[in-house]
């Protein structure tokens, strides 16, 4: 039929143009980066096959870490306010309650060994430079002692609640599953990202004051409210895993999240940045079905009317 031929011509012109300005242009402007490596296989300073001892690990933790770090999950409360500790160290030192759960084991062990290489910020803290990373390297510690600390951190870290657990929690507290799930993911976000980044649309401000963080990082880390839309989950997945690979020279350290923790962070960014996703996906098919019925009725009416003139 002639009209279909015309439609085919119009459609192919549109599709060629579309291909050029969308998939092809994106491919050219945003080349694919390295995929995420959740084993952090470039870090090999600590033998992570060693089995850690929790009791010894706690002792090492008390002797080496509690001067700066809190761990509220095991009763070590922060000694200063966020602003004071930020003023002292440049950035608020993290509470380590979730450290054992959200950081990948190999990363965590190697981070304790040498934070600068693990986070890939050598360009900011060169070996003979004047700036020093706020946390000293524990490269003098034996691998066994480091693994003891890692084992201790893992043992005190509250476990993630699974889907079923969240559902029953939601039922018990008479809240939506979305809300309780977002709340759990928010904890991971706060621990992993919340010392530097705001999440305005989620009601979170960075725990380090703006002035301090700007001095520490060189620029103010962005608010991440809309990053799930502006960057997309695919990019975020690669970027968070290895920022230098995607944005060479950035001040942002590699955070070392495990695959699950990173998924929780991205899920949280989606829940905050695109909260109507479910509503959208539910409404879509209904509207399209309605329009399909409309189009069919319109076609039948057209046939009836035009049968008189053809």
Partner 1 sequence: MAEFKKADSMLEWFDQRLGVINFSKVMMTEYWIPKNINFLWAMGALLMMMFGVLLISGIFLLMYYKPDVALAFDSVNYTIMHDVAYGWLFRHIHAVGASVIFLVIYIHMFTGIYYGSYKKGREMIWLSGMLLFVLFSAEGFSGYMLPWGQMSYWAAYVITEIFGGIPVIGGDLVVWIRGNFYVSDSTLTRFFMLHVLLIPVVMLGAIAFHFYSLRFPHVNNEAGEFFDYDVEAEKYLAGDKKGSKVIPFWPVFLAKDFFVMGVFLIFFFYLVFYYYGFAMDPVNFDKADGLKTPTHIYPEWYFLWSYEVLRGFFFEMFGISGKDLGLMAFAFANGIFLVMPWLDRSPTVAPANQRPYFKIWFWLLMIDLIVLTIFGKLPPTGANAWVGFASSLSFIVLFLALPVITTLEAKKLGAK
**Residue ranges binding partner 1 (CB under 8 A):** 2-3, 6-7, 10, 13-14, 16-18, 20-22, 24-25, 28-29, 200-201, 222, 225-227, 229-232, 275-276, 279-281, 283-284, 287-288, 291-292, 294-299, 301-302, 305-306, 308-310
- Please work out, in degrees rounded to the nearest 5, the angle formed at the alpha carbon of residue 146 by the alpha carbons of 93 and 148: 105
Taking the complex as a whole, the smallest distance from the CB of residue 280 to partner 1 amounts, in Å, to: 6
Taking the complex as a whole, the smallest distance from the CB of residue 267 to partner 1 amounts, in Å, to: 17
Taking the complex as a whole, the smallest distance from the CB of residue 23 to partner 1 amounts, in Å, to: 10
Q: What is the dihedral angle through the alpha carbons of 99, 204, 73, 113, rounded to the nearest 10 degrees?
A: 20
Taking the complex as a whole, the smallest distance from the CB of residue 124 to partner 1 amounts, in Å, to: 20
Q: With respect to partner 1, which residue has the nearer C-beta, 144 or 220? A: 220
Q: Would you call 129 exposed, middle or buried from its count of C-beta atoms within 10 A (0-12, 13-18, 19+)?
A: exposed
Distances (CA, A) of 70 to 31, 81, 111: 41, 11, 17
Q: With respect to partner 1, which residue has the nearer C-beta, 24 or 132? A: 24
Q: With respect to partner 1, which residue has the nearer C-beta, 43 or 228? A: 228
Q: With respect to partner 1, which residue has the nearer C-beta, 60 or 225? A: 225
Q: With respect to partner 1, which residue has the nearer C-beta, 142 or 275? A: 275
Taking the complex as a whole, the smallest distance from the CB of residue 228 to partner 1 amounts, in Å, to: 9
Taking the complex as a whole, the smallest distance from the CB of residue 196 to partner 1 amounts, in Å, to: 17
Taking the complex as a whole, the smallest distance from the CB of residue 291 to partner 1 amounts, in Å, to: 5
Residue 50: phi and psi, rounded to 5, are: -65, 140
Taking the complex as a whole, the smallest distance from the CB of residue 215 to partner 1 amounts, in Å, to: 18
Cβ–Cβ < 8 Å for 160, 264: yes
Q: With respect to partner 1, which residue has the nearer C-beta, 127 or 287? A: 287
For 262-291, the DSSP string reads: HHHHHHHHHHHH-TTHHHHHHHHHHHHHHH
Residue whose structure tokens are 């996703």: 277
* CA–CA dist 129, 107 (Å, integer): 24
Distance of CA 126 to the CA centre of its chain: 27
């Amino acid at each position: 039929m002639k009209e279909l031929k015309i439609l085919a011509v119009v459609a192919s012109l549109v599709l060629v143009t579309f291909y050029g300005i969308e998939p092809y242009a994106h491919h050219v402007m945003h080349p694919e980066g390295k995929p995420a490596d959740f084993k952090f296989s470039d870090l090999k300073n600590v033998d992570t096959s060693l089995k850690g001892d929790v009791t010894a690990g706690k002792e090492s933790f008390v002797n080496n870490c509690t001067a700066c770090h809190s761990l509220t999950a095991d009763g070590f409360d922060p000694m200063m306010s966020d602003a004071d500790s930020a003023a002292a160290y440049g950035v608020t030192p993290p509470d380590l309650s979730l450290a054992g759960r959200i950081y990948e084991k190999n990363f965590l062990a190697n981070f304790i060994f040498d934070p600068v290489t693990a986070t890939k910020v050598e360009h900011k803290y060169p070996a003979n430079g004047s700036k020093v990373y706020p946390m000293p390297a524990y490269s003098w510690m034996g691998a066994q002692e480091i693994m003891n600390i890692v084992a201790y951190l893992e043992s005190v870290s509250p476990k993630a609640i699974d889907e079923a657990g969240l559902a029953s929690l939601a039922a018990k507290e008479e809240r939506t599953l979305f809300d309780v799930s977002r709340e759990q993911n928010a904890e991971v976000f706060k621990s992993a990202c919340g010392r530097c980044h705001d999440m305005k649309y989620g009601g979170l401000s960075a725990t380090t004051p703006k002035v301090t963080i700007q001095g520490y990082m060189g620029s103010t880390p962005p608010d991440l409210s809309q990053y799930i839309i502006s960057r997309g989950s695919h990019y975020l997945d690669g970027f968070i895993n290895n920022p230098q690979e995607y944005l060479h020279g950035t001040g942002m350290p590699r955070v070392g999240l495990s695959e699950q923790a990173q998924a929780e962070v991205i899920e949280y960014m989606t829940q905050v940045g695109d909260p109507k996703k479910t509503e959208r996906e539910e409404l879509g098919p209904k509207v399209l079905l309605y329009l399909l019925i409309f189009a069919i009725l319109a076609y039948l009416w057209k046939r009836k009317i035009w049968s008189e003139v053809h």
